[in-house]
Every structure is written in structure tokens, then in C-alpha cells.
């Protein structure tokens, strides 16, 4: 039997972010269609499509960020792994040290709070996590709070967090979202 080697590094973050941006654009498309009172054949509930696109934006943005953060540890062969997302800044410091770069410093309280909120929504959607449900309820948040505007905010937060990771690596940030080709919205013919 032939030995199978482990695959080499493959960072899917750009692909995940591109799809997250596509979903955010889709959320806006459905919100506008609903606001304009458009009838879209085969789509009985435009608001549900907007919500679905926002949920996908949340899940893929979180996946892209977590993937980039972990893969930078792998690529830089960082010996001390930090815990995601609890030790986000510690991980950035380790990545920077492994590249002989200065510590990028602490992430702002507001951006850290948004990272935690993103993770809370992710845990709620993917796992039905009781602690996530409790945190969302404590913050007065419900699924009705999600939509095109939140999808846009999530992408902006992801861009800011990718920039923080890039500051640690000395490389280019994943994205930024404004330059990604997404292929959405569709053209109406």
C-alpha cells in the first residue's frame, strides 16, 4: 500500500470571502426587490431570500476569518497556537513574531465585540448553541434583526479583521471585499 501524504497548505479564505460578499450583495438585491414590490417568478417570499442571504454572509465571513487566522499559524509555523476567537490578538502577536514583525497591537473594543457577535450568530445558526441563544437574547437580538444592512456591516467588519491579520503577516489582506468579483446581482433580461 502506498503512503498518502498530507495535503500542503491551502487557504480557502479568499474563496469563502468572495462567496460571503456575493451573499451580502444578494441580500441587498432581495431587499430592494421587496421594497420596490417586484414580483420575481418562482420566489414567493423575497424577505426570506434576504434573510437566507444574510445568514450565509454571516457563516461564510466567519469561516473565512477563522480559516485565514488558523492558516497563517500553519504557514508561519507558529509554535504557540492561540485559541480562536478568544485569543485573537495573542494569535496575531505570535504570527507577527514568527515573521519578525512588530506586534500589531490590540484590536479595538468595538471590532472585538463585532468578532464575538459574528461568532455568536455562527454558533446559533450552525449548532443551535444554547449559550449563543442566551447571549443573543441578552443583547435583545433576534433573527428579525438580520438583513441586507447587517450583511453589509459583517463584510465591513471582515475587511477590518482581515486587515489586522495582514498587519501581523506583512502581506496583503484577503480581499478587500470592494475588489472581489462576485457575479451578483444577476442581470434582469
Q: What gap in Å lies between CA 23 and CA 49, rounded to an integer? A: 10
Please give the pLDDT value at position 129. Answer: 94
CB 66 within 8 A of CB 11: no
pLDDT for 28-81, tens place per residue? 999 999 999 999 899 999 999 999 999 999 999 999 999 999 999 888 888 767
Please give the pLDDT value at position 171. Answer: 87
More confident residue, 84 or 149: 149
Nearest C-alpha neighbor of 154 from the set 162, 164, 142, 144: 162
Please give the pLDDT value at position 11. Answer: 86
pLDDT tier at 5, thresholds 50, 70, 90: low
pLDDT tier at 134, thresholds 50, 70, 90: very high
DSSP 54-114: HHHHHHHHHHHHHHHHHHHHHHTT-SSPPPTTTTHHHHHHHHHHHTT-----PPPHHHHHH
Amino acid at each position: 500500500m502506498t503512503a498518502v501524504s498530507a495535503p500542503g497548505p491551502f487557504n480557502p479564505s479568499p474563496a469563502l470571502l468572495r462567496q460571503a460578499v456575493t451573499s451580502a450583495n444578494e441580500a441587498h438585491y432581495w431587499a430592494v426587490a421587496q421594497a420596490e414590490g417586484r414580483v420575481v417568478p418562482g420566489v414567493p417570499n423575497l424577505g426570506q431570500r434576504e434573510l437566507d442571504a444574510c445568514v450565509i454572509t454571516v457563516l461564510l465571513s466567519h469561516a473565512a476569518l477563522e480559516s485565514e487566522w488558523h492558516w497563517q499559524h500553519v504557514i508561519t509555523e507558529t509554535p504557540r497556537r492561540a485559541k480562536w476567537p478568544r485569543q485573537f490578538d495573542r494569535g496575531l502577536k505570535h504570527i507577527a513574531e514568527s515573521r519578525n514583525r512588530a506586534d500589531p497591537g490590540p484590536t479595538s473594543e468595538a471590532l472585538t465585540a463585532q468578532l464575538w457577535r459574528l461568532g455568536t450568530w455562527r454558533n446559533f445558526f450552525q449548532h443551535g448553541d444554547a449559550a449563543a441563544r442566551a447571549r443573543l437574547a441578552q443583547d435583545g437580538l433576534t433573527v428579525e434583526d438580520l438583513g441586507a444592512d447587517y450583511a453589509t456591516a459583517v463584510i465591513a467588519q471582515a475587511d477590518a479583521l482581515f486587515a489586522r491579520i495582514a498587519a501581523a503577516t506583512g502581506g496583503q489582506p484577503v480581499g478587500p471585499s470592494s475588489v472581489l468579483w462576485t457575479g451578483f446581482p444577476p442581470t434582469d433580461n
